[in-house]
Structure 1
Amino acid sequence: MTMSATHAVEIRRPLHGLLPLAVGLGTYALMLAAGNALLNDPDTYWQVVVGQWILDHRAVPRTDVYSFTMNGQPWISTQWLAQLLFGATYRAFGWAGPVVLTAAAIASTFAMLARFLSQRLTSNATLVFVAVAIALMFPHLLARPHVLAMPVMVAWVAGLVAAMDRRGAPSWALLPLMALWANLHGGFVLGLALMAPIGLDAIWRTPAAAQRSLLLRWATFGLAALVACCLTPYGWESLLAARRILNLGQALALIGEWRAANFGHAGPLELTVLIAFALVLWRGVTLPPMRIVLVLGFVFMALSHVRNAEVLALLAPLVLAGPLAAQIGRGDSAAVTPPRRLLIAAVAICVMAATILVASTRRFTPDLRNSPVAAVIELQKLHLSRVFNDYDFGGYLIASGVPTFIDGRTELFGEKLMVDHNNASGLADPDDLFRLLADYKIEATLLRTQSAATKLLDRVDGWEKVYSDEIATIHLRRAGASHTRSPAVQPDLT
């Protein structure tokens, strides 16, 4: 019996240690299978173009060169390193490059999350957290800079939480992660903000005699992290850029990913919050005060802006793992051993071979709904420079070399222009449409065929429809042009 039990443990140890690797491989395969879904965001176009601009000019952008409404105005990209990676991989491999890069970043993120959790929780609990995280984040898993920054975010917060669990100070080896994060995405500001509550929890639960010393170590680390996040081509301007985005007010509510959660329907986020609430009531899980603050903060962020579902999905499990292990059962941490080097090498070779096979046999393309290919070809024949475009078409116009009226660089255009454009294109305020067309001396419009503004211009003299398909319609300003359609009038039969 003793030999059998020992043998069972010896078998279980390597299997448990392989869980993070299995999660990473499974996620990578899922993301490659999703493929084109990673290219469903119109902003991916201009992220790639900016990356290629950086490669060509060996510099980072400081003014706008892509729109005619803000041309020459100050603009910096705190995502320059991610854009550089997207631009380089696209230049080398076409759209397969950004897809594979994005899939690898996502797989690394979940493998790291699984490794942290499996050191504290059972395999089943780890897999549940990972599955819920994937479900929460799937709509936002796109070829964009925030995804390339996700592995760094998980590694940074995991390092802070590990220090909190042992009631000590973070390792100074984490500081390069903050510098890297600050060059990949503006979300590094969250990493700075989390140091305060996590550090307070560690200090609070430390014996009184050691609290002062630990406070000093956390404060010193915090100052070093602040310096590290300024190690970018823009220096401290990166911090100011993040603040500009948060100050966009009403404009944020116009962008899908910045909208608040809607409990009018049962989506992954809403179901997760409700089920978690039910589990707490059922099992009576308790948390230290600061961890409650952290978890509630993550929930509030996710409910306020759906794009923050990734924060809840990835960071809440890190904070919850320690207390949950003590209350619902701890995994065999001794069994979490890293896979052997030979196995890792064999897996890496197989993954590379499979990636090459998939990338060479499958054609990856962005979502055609955001790519008015035929319409832009016709537009370029007109040689115009002032086109009023649909917001989602901005990325494709940048990629096509056509100056935009507006695009996904929201912080550049500001709250007023964003709101005015939305009101104009959706006819929430028709006066805004004609005012913008006049104030910016618009020569043509490129809008979705089914948009309210397109339907109105069909019925307005002075605008001639010169092209239309199921995606986009072009109206050209032309004196003397008669409207092509008239409003339907129902006769009064009474």
Structure 2
Amino acid sequence: MGSIYLKLCLPWFAAGPIPLAPPKAAMTIAVPHAVAEARPGRLPLWVGLGVYALALLAGSQLLNDPDTYWQISVGQSILDHHAVPTIDLYSFTMRGQPWVSTQWLSQVLFAGAYGAFGWTGPVVLTATAVAATFALLTHFLHQRLVESTTLIFVMVALALMLDHLLARPHVLAMPVMVAFVGGLVAAMDRRGAPSLALLPLIALWANLHGGFVLGLALIAPLGIDAIVHAEARLQKALLLRWVLFGVAACAACCLTPYGWDSLLAARRILNLGAALAMIGEWRAADFGHPGPLELTVLAGFALVLWRGVTLPPMRIVLVLGFVFMALSHVRNAEVLALLAPLVLAKPLGERVGRGSAAEPAAPRRLLFAGVAIGLLTGTFIIASIQNYAPYDRSSPAAAVTELKKHNLARVFNDYDFGGYLIWRGVPTFIDGRTELFGEKRMVEHNNASGLSEPDNLFRLLRDYDIEATLLRTQSAATKLLDHLDGWQKVYSDDIATIHLRKAGAVHSVEPVVNVDKK
């Protein structure tokens, strides 16, 4: 992996230090070369097609997340009842408690795609969103950077995002995020105000995914940069226009079935504290085991030292913010991958050469008709060959079938099994809706199932009058229940194990452990 990153960055390193003020002669040579190389208007199309094909071929990898199950289930419920959820209906521990789904529109789209085409539907929908995201990113960058530099950014972005390209709402929101933030950055680059045409984008984003709050947060720093670098006589008017746009954007974010609650609900995830560290995608970056994110940060640091890259102060703040977000929670690698290049494109283009902002005067209908036919044909062929389906590790199908025979209502389940239980209509103890269960419940469950605090397991079994457990076969809690008095193993496979509570068994903080029990 390290060698790949070195090759990607080699074109940057070979040129030596970047002067703060390049000679004019160098710029007159670089720009025409960039324009000649660019083939304007085509590169985003080919990048989008390539990414789409890769996503389709990866197919089932896009379904490798237990949350996909409950996202589709909630979407189907919205379609069936023509109403968005306002209370929890899927767990027995929080049933009836207030809960809103800030990603309701994505859930409806996934449910509709699944209902029409089975698992192929969510795969194609996700692949389309990913392809659109990279096409938009390429379009923005290619207007400001030469083709080779644009492709470096695109390839690094793809490497950073691979682990988080899943059939989930955040992916459907990614092209909207790139389009909205790209519009703000374009306004900053020209030292003007953002277009009001961006308001429908952030309204759409607010209905697709709770990450729209990042878009709101970026309005202020991008506006400040635009105002500071504008002519003095224009600054007051520009300030007013950015402020009005910010207010209008806040109002647009409330154009959801939940109104102002959309803004409040999006904050609850950030208040989970210690619980976030227990969820894989919310863990911090680990330089002890470097992956694409860690290598990208190190390569970027090396590039700055080698080439002497300089940026305006506010762009430095923005890039550092994106890096901090990615290092704090690996799921934010997509923010670094997609938004940092938007901020860096113009100043880097002024130093390494610009691409062409021109577009073809009239797109050839034959080309786009051919592309459309090719897409449909390729999709049909690949989908017919690939047998798309979620992985078994998060789909304990046989165990849940056995569990349903007992007609139980209070099951202590593994966190990763929650989405599949919702899918099968079994009330959960806990599931992927972390903002509903809160920090305390998440920490208690994690400590109980991992036996870092065994008393937690016995207390939860007692306090919630648990009738059965459905846990991973290799988990510490499963191994203990194998020997715990009052519990009987009734089913086990490589994925999940079911223990039933015996009639008359007493949940105790100090239960009897039978070491001879098998």
Range class of TM-score, shorter chain: over 0.9
What is residue 165 of structure 1 aligned with on the other side?
A: 189
What is residue 281 of structure 2 aligned with on the other side?
A: 257
Task: Check whether the contact 2:35–2:356 (CA below 8 A) recurs between aligned residues.
Answer: no
Q: Choose which of 224, 228, 242 in structure 1 pairs with 2:266.
A: 242
Task: Check whether the contact 1:65–1:71 (CA below 8 A) recurs between aligned residues.
Answer: yes
Cα offset, 1:9, TM superposition: 9.0
Q: Distance in 2 between matches of 1:312 and 1:340?
A: 35
Q: Distance in 1 between matches of 2:419 and 2:332?
A: 23
For residues 172-187 of structure 1, the aligned pairs below 5 Å read 172-187=196-211
Q: Choose which of 159, 163, 166 in structure 2 pairs with 1:139.
A: 163
Q: Choose which of 352, 360, 369 in structure 1 pairs with 2:393.
A: 369
Q: Note if 1:306 corresponds to 2:336.
A: no
For residues 71-470 of structure 1, the aligned pairs below 5 Å read 71-334=95-358, 339-470=363-494
SS at match of 2:51: helix
Deviates more, 1:326-335 or 1:399-408: 326-335
Would the alpha carbon gap of residues 461 and 487 (structure 1) be closer, same or farther in structure 2, given more than 3 Å must change?
closer
What is residue 29 of structure 1 aligned with on the other side?
A: 53
Q: Distance in 2 between matches of 1:338 and 1:483?
A: 78
Q: Note if 1:17 corresponds to 2:36.
A: no
Q: Note if 1:486 corresponds to 2:510.
A: no
For residues 49-64 of structure 1, the aligned pairs below 5 Å read 49-64=73-88
Task: Check whether the contact 2:40–2:358 (CA below 8 A) recurs between aligned residues.
Answer: no
Q: Distance in 2 between matches of 1:339 and 1:286?
A: 38
Q: Distance in 1 between matches of 2:386 and 2:90?
A: 31
Task: Check whether the contact 1:18–1:338 (CA below 8 A) recurs between aligned residues.
Answer: no
Deviates more, 1:344-353 or 1:273-282: 344-353
Query: Structure 2: which amino acid aligns with 1:172?
Result: L
What is residue 39 of structure 1 aligned with on the other side?
A: 63
Cα offset, 1:328, TM superposition: 1.5
Q: In structure 2, list runs of 5 or more residues that go unmatched.
A: 1-31, 506-511
Would the alpha carbon gap of residues 467 and 485 (structure 1) be closer, same or farther in structure 2, given more than 3 Å must change?
farther
TM-score between both structures, scaled by the size of structure 1: 0.95
Q: Distance in 1 between matches of 2:98 and 2:287?
A: 39
Would the alpha carbon gap of residues 11 and 79 (structure 1) be closer, same or farther in structure 2, given more than 3 Å must change?
closer
Task: Check whether the contact 1:389–1:405 (CA below 8 A) recurs between aligned residues.
Answer: yes
Q: Distance in 2 between matches of 1:14 and 1:253?
A: 44
Q: Distance in 1 between matches of 2:130 and 2:74?
A: 22
TM-score between both structures, scaled by the size of structure 2: 0.90
Q: Distance in 2 between matches of 1:288 and 1:20?
A: 28
Task: Check whether the contact 2:38–2:146 (CA below 8 A) recurs between aligned residues.
Answer: no
SS at match of 1:333: coil
SS at match of 1:17: coil
Task: Check whether the contact 1:35–1:99 (CA below 8 A) recurs between aligned residues.
Answer: yes
Task: Check whether the contact 1:13–1:336 (CA below 8 A) recurs between aligned residues.
Answer: no
Q: Residue by residue, what CA displacement relative to the aligned partner does 1:310-332 show, whole Å, maximum 9, x if unpaired?
A: 00000000000000001122123
Q: Distance in 1 between matches of 2:161 and 2:35?
A: 34
Task: Check whether the contact 2:38–2:356 (CA below 8 A) recurs between aligned residues.
Answer: no
Would the alpha carbon gap of residues 11 and 258 (structure 1) be closer, same or farther in structure 2, given more than 3 Å must change?
closer
Q: Distance in 2 between matches of 1:126 and 1:216?
A: 34
Taking only the aligned residue pairs, the percentage that are identical comes to 73
SS at match of 1:470: coil
Cα offset, 1:17, TM superposition: 2.6
Q: Output the aligned Cα RMSD.
A: 1.9
Q: Residue by residue, what CA displacement relative to the aligned partner does 1:286-311 show, whole Å, maximum 9, x if unpaired?
A: 10000000000000000000000000
SS at match of 1:461: coil
Cα offset, 1:338, TM superposition: 7.4
Cα offset, 1:177, TM superposition: 0.1
SS at match of 2:85: coil
Cα offset, 1:12, TM superposition: 5.2
What is residue 491 of structure 1 aligned with on the other side?
A: none
Query: Structure 2: which amino acid aligns with 1:235?
Result: G
Cα offset, 1:358, TM superposition: 2.2
Q: Distance in 2 between matches of 1:299 and 1:10?
A: 29
User: Across the two proteins, how many residue pairs are aligned to each other?
Assistant: 481
Cα offset, 1:362, TM superposition: 2.4
Cα offset, 1:335, TM superposition: 6.8
Q: Residue by residue, what CA displacement relative to the aligned partner does 1:341-399 show, whole Å, maximum 9, x if unpaired?
A: 33112101110121122223322110110000110010000000000000000000000
Query: Structure 2: which amino acid aligns with 1:92?
Result: A
SS at match of 1:153: helix
Q: Distance in 1 between matches of 2:361 and 2:426?
A: 54
Q: Residue by residue, what CA displacement relative to the aligned partner does 1:44-94 show, whole Å, maximum 9, x if unpaired?
A: 000000000000000100011110001111110000000000000001100
Query: Structure 2: which amino acid aligns with 1:132?
Result: V
Task: Check whether the contact 1:14–1:339 (CA below 8 A) recurs between aligned residues.
Answer: no
